[in-house]
Chains A and B, each alone.
Chain A
Amino acid sequence: MVELAFPLAPWLVWAIPMFGALLIPLYAKFGDKARDYIAVIFPLLSAISAAMMLPLALNGQIFHQQIPWITSLNIKAGVLADPLGVLMANIVAWISFLIMVYSIGYMHGDTNLTRYWFFMNLFIGSMQLIVLSDNFLQLFFGWEGVGLCSYALIGFWNKDKEKDYVGTVGHTAWGFAQAYSPSHAGMKAFITTRVGDVAFLIGILTLFFYSGTFGYTELAAEHQWAVELARSGLLIPVAVLIFGGAIGKSAQFPLHEWLPDAMAGPTSVSALIHAATMVKAGVFLVARIGPLFYVAVQSAQLVAPFFQTVAWIGAITAFLAASQALVAREVKKVLAYSTVSQIGYMMLGLGVAGLSSEFVGGFVAGFFHLTSHAIFKAALFMGAGVLIHATETKYMDEMGGLKGGMKKTYFAMLVATGSLAGVPFLSGFWSKDAILASVLDVGGIMAYGLFGLATITAIMTAFYSFRMIGMIFFGKKSHHLQEMEHHGHDVREAPTVMWLPIAILAAATLTIGVTGPFFEGFLETAFAKNLKELYGMQIVEHGFALNPIAISASVLALVIGGFFGYNYYIARRSDPFRMVQSNAFLGGMHKFLENRWYIDALYYKIFVNAPITASNVLFKGLELGVLDKTNVVVSKGAIALSAISNWFDSNVVDGIANGMATVSTFVSGRVRKIQTGVANQYVFAFALGIVFLVILMLILL
């Protein structure tokens, strides 16, 4: 297809961190400093390799290279560097690199850092494998690698000390504790995403069964598989099953419950999971399969149910998670819910892409939002890490009034939060607006439903963004902070190695914000070429255009949400805490949202407690009631039988056994005399044996 100046680059992007991870235990032998810096070099090299591929994205070209893998099934491994893959790889690589640099400061002094660096590098490598692989099977390897690393890193503080718990210890919903230990949270993430992974695996294997290939380019070149899948009625199930993998990884409803608890891990890990790896993998997968299914069928009507599913799941998740973010107490949990919510927006964008007549609009919107979210969310998480270090608490109500003492963090977080809330001329404003506009492009009742949900979510987003900024930086200092200062622990700004990555990301947010329309136009050109060349899609480019309804809706949402947020948490005109306590309806709402709509508790009830209860019932009924009683009867019979056999045993069997033992003792007593231990005698016996053999041969011949 196209030549690349450095053709190994797409391989190195994922191979360097993946195999570099294996070297880290080795470098740990040279001391902690060497290990920490080497661990950051691998992502840097990977990012440089990724940057080398950028010309491809700028020219809208595709680089595709394959090597034989499983020859008996004609499966090939390969890299596919199209604009989507290249841009994604660059976002992942550079943000991961900044997070790794930040980790040097954030994790400083922690024990077991070899394990930390190993899994962080493996995490980045697995994610890049997902991004650059050219087939589903290879992607699945990266997919599982990401799952493993997330498990290991969320549960990194595996001593399960109470200060590392996520959630408020002692808080319960339906009798289920709502605070989880790090190792429990890691397990929860692993098992929940595993549900999606199984669906994904079934999906791609069915696809392989019908098409005989896992490769995207092969699937895009020849559409017989889609015809046959559609004939047997499996087209939509297969697509939705593959999407199931994305639901699990990207923490979409109904598999979203793991992500808030994943906050049990170190903050740098959360930043990596939320901004660069893991949750973005699901969105990327949908961006890969969406066009594939869209062009494979004769008419777009056939796959519409799939795209409707994606869009609705996205919209519902966006709403659900944003509502929970309204009441969250921990700063990281606000960010976690907002990630789930923003990923919902991306899914919404990719979903409506397949419903509209021109695919590229929603596709670009979804990816644009992925980009801007990755940047500002990484900045937010790293800022939250700085705050947690400085104030020694993760609860927002134990912070407050930090604006003066932590100016750099304040400004960076202000920019990133503004972008999240959709403040005009920041990156999030343009991308959110693009999604809303592409939803409206679909038209029809359903589109208005989706648009309504998305707008309400935008209001809530603005509210919780203001709430977060207000609770942390405005108002009076909390008792906790006053006590700390009393003891001489002043709140301090972060070291350079920590605030520099945040500053870079905040600057990137501003840059994309200022150049928003241009950036969107660039993405549209690149992806239009991408879709045309790879999938043979007919694309009509429209260029950048503002949709007046979408833009007024998003500005209105910002104004409404921002007004309440500003009133309660920045200006502090009235105390929301007292309002919630005095008003029964608000109090009930608060409790409902704080308990995560009781979905988490419901899952524990059905999937954790029900099997335990069932096995208890089995234990009591079957084990104690039937089996134990049978055991008693059987054992009484057995005692009688054994009395008889005892007699037989002691007289007959023992007699035989003792007799044999006596004989063999006697024989071996004689035989052991041969073993003199004198080598001469052995040689003599050996020579005699040879003579004997020679004589035997002479006689016989």
Chain B
Amino acid sequence: MEPLFNYFFVSLLLFAIGVYGLISKRNALRLLFAVEIIINAATLNFVAFSRYLPTPSASGQVFVVFAIAFAAAEAAAGLAIILVAFRLNKDVDIRELRRLRG
């Protein structure tokens, strides 16, 4: 069980970095990077768990391939939104993008 915790630790670290990025950064692009880091933290868990199953299987890795593909798609959509936001505001600072504020 020892090695599994190592993976957890790295994963947790990545997650924390991602969340820190989300909390502290204003640039929308940086936020997108932060999200990618969080996704990587999660996929790392998948691989680790499936490797250390009583009967190790490759399903975790297959899952991760999918997750990466979806993350790429999501990044593309996110970038498109940011691009549009930039055209509208000449800026990607999300503090300026708060028209939906209550």
Contact = CB atoms under 8 A, between A and B. Distances in A.
Contact of B102 (A672, A679, A684): A672
Contacts of B100: 677
B90 interface: no
Contacts of A678: 94-95, 98
Nearest to B34: A683
Interface string B70-102: 000000000000000000000000110111111
Given A678-B95, A678-B98, A680-B25, 20 more contacts: A672-B102, A674-B102, A675-B101, A675-B102, A676-B98, A676-B101, A677-B98, A677-B100, A677-B101, A677-B102, A678-B94, A679-B31, A680-B22, A680-B23, A680-B24, A680-B26, A680-B94, A683-B22, A683-B23, A687-B19
8 contacts: A677-B98, A677-B101, A678-B94, A679-B31, A680-B26, A680-B94, A683-B22, A687-B23
Closest 8 CB pairs of A and B: A677-B98, A675-B102, A677-B101, A683-B22, A672-B102, A684-B23, A687-B19, A679-B94
Interface residues of A, number: 11
Residue of B94, B97, B102 contacting most chain A CB atoms (<10 Å): B102
A676 B101 CA distance: 6
Contacts of A676: 98, 101
Interface of B: 19, 22-26, 31, 94-95, 97-102
Contacts of B94: 678-680
Residue of A674, A676, A680, A687 contacting most chain B CB atoms (<10 Å): A680
Contacts of A674: 102
A60 B14 CA distance: 86
Interface in A546-586: none
A675 B25 CA distance: 19
Contacts of B99: 677
Interface string A657-697: 00000000000000010111111100110010000000000
Interface string A461-495: 00000000000000000000000000000000000
B36 to A, nearest CB: 15
A680 B97 CA distance: 12
Nearest to A674: B102
B19 A683 contact: yes
Contacts of A675: 101-102
B86 to A, nearest CB: 16
Contacts of A677: 97-102
Nearest to A676: B101
Nearest to B35: A683
Residue of B23, B25, B98 contacting most chain A CB atoms (<10 Å): B23
